[in-house]
Amino acid sequence: MDNIIVLENVTKTYGMKDGAVRALSGVSLTIQQGEYVSIMGPSGSGKSTCMNIIGCLDRPSGGLVLINGCNTADMSERELAALRSRTVGFVFQQYHLLPSMTVLENLMLPLRYQGMEKRSRKKTALDILERVSLTDRARHLPSELSGGQKQRAAIARAVVTRPKIVLADEPTGALDSETGGLVLALFADINRQGTTVIIVTHDGHVAAEARRLVRILDGRIAGDSHV
């Protein structure tokens, strides 16, 4: 199988000199196309930093990052953004829905970037919203949604383009067990269809859905096991 994600000795330092924070201290991790991986670790251990680097939202301070065969160090901001929109669906810890657009429009936007025509965009977006039980909120603004509904909308947006990689940072933190179950079923489904899924979670039940568990501690990989 293909290695879709390769991190080799990746470091990340925020800030400078005296105030510098070392968020990652030499992370090496290889993930193959189609894997389902969970990442666990204490608060502040570097999980979101690692996801941002995998998702091409941030560059490492050192080390090698290959995403879908592309070395991100060699790429311009524009090339990185193109790689990201082609390859990655991101569920952020803080949702990041566009506030002036309805839920439906938020989902249709990445499909427009992919060049899909309007009628198909709408149908594709509504299909995914149904999967996360948000059909009745499609025409609402994010500010009119509950926390859990926003989270489901953010998840729907991340998977709507059928990206090769879906990265989800605490995707079920704001969900009850029923809607959490819907979301996990959706991830399992897209993973069966070949999408690489990586989930950061503090919840052992969520982690148990994955077939590989990576543990991060103090900016290092402290465990990596197939389950």
Ligand X SMILES: Nc1ncnc2c1ncn2[C@@H]1O[C@H](COP(=O)(O)OP(=O)(O)OP(=O)(O)O)[C@@H](O)[C@H]1O
DSSP letter for each residue of 2-55: -EEEEEEEEEEEES-GGG-EEEEEEEEEEEETT-EEEEE--TTSSHHHHHHHHT
> Running DSSP on this structure, what letter comes out for residue 172?
T
Complex with ligand X: residue 44 or 181, whichever CB lies closer = 44
Complex with ligand X: residue 162 or 220, whichever CB lies closer = 220
198 binds ligand X (CB under 6 A): no
CB of 190 to ligand X, least distance (A): 23
DSSP letter for each residue of 111-164: HHHTT--HHHHHHHHHHHHHHTT-GGGTTS-GGGS-HHHHHHHHHHHHHTT--S
46 binds ligand X (CB under 6 A): yes
Distance CA 43, CA 214 (A): 15
**CB-CB neighbours of 28 under 10 Å:** 14
Sign of CA dihedral 34, 224, 180, 94: negative
Single out the residue of 227, 163, 160, 171 nearest to residue 196, CA to CA: 163
CB of 69 to ligand X, least distance (A): 25
Choose one: 27-35, 36-44, 102-110, 185-193; the region binding ligand X (CB under 6 A). 36-44
215 binds ligand X (CB under 6 A): no
Complex with Mg ion: residue 90 or 160, whichever CB lies closer = 90
Distance CA 1, CA 201 (A): 26
Q: Which residue has the tokens 């079920």?
A: 172
151 binds ligand X (CB under 6 A): no
108 alpha-carbon distance from chain centroid: 18
15 binds ligand X (CB under 6 A): yes
45 binds Mg ion (CB under 5 A): no
Contact with ligand X (CB under 6 A) among 43, 100, 177, 193 = 43
CB of 79 to ligand X, least distance (A): 23
Site string for ligand X, 91-110 (x = CB under 6 A): --x-----------------
48 binds Mg ion (CB under 5 A): yes
201 binds Mg ion (CB under 5 A): no
CB of 48 to Mg ion, least distance (A): 3
15 binds, among ligand X, Mg ion, none (CB under 5 to 8 A by kind): ligand X
Where along the sequence are the contacts to ligand X (CB under 6 A)? 14-15, 21, 23, 41, 43-49, 93
